[in-house]
């Protein structure tokens, strides 16, 4: 049973979340959501913040993780496990590091480690 089906159940039969959970558990024992999920949805419905469709979350869309990109990264890592993210960027492989560089010109890129300088002799 899909998420909109569970949500529409509240629209048709407005009951307590425990009663709805008992009904759904007896009907869909394997795919029934938990009681706390139903209580949260019931509260959202009472507040009027209830939507039948899932909202898209923040962050990078899932379409960027394609089989092609995964294969390219895997091939590069297997060829040279010591390759840096900067080197992979030069080869056009999408990484989170590349997203930061592309978004603001590289100001968020990690700084290289500083070498310890010997203290001056007194």
CA end-to-end distance (rounded Å), the chain:
77
Evaluate the CA torsion angle 28, 29, 32, 35 in order and state its sign: positive
Average pLDDT over the chain, rounded to whole?
68
- The string of pLDDT tens digits covering residues 67-115 is 887 787 788 778 877 877 677 666 665 555 444 444 444 445 555 556 6
Would you state the pLDDT for residue 104?
45
Higher pLDDT, 24 or 2: 24
User: Where are the domains positioned within the chain?
Assistant: 3-47, 63-104
Query: Would you say the pTM of this structure is higher than 0.95?
Result: no
């Amino acid at each position: 049973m899909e998420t909109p089906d569970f949500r529409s159940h509240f629209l048709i039969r407005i009951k307590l979340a425990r009663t709805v959970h008992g009904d759904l558990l007896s009907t869909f024992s394997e795919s029934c959501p938990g009681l706390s999920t139903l209580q949260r949805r019931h509260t959202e419905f009472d507040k009027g913040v209830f939507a039948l469709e899932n909202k898209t979350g923040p962050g990078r869309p899932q379409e960027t993780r394609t089989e092609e990109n995964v294969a390219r990264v895997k091939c590069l890592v297997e060829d040279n496990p010591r390759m840096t993210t900067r080197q992979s960027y030069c080869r056009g492989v999408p990484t989170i590091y590349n997203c930061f560089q592309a978004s603001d010109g590289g100001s968020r890129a990690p700084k290289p480690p500083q070498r310890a300088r010997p203290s001056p002799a007194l």
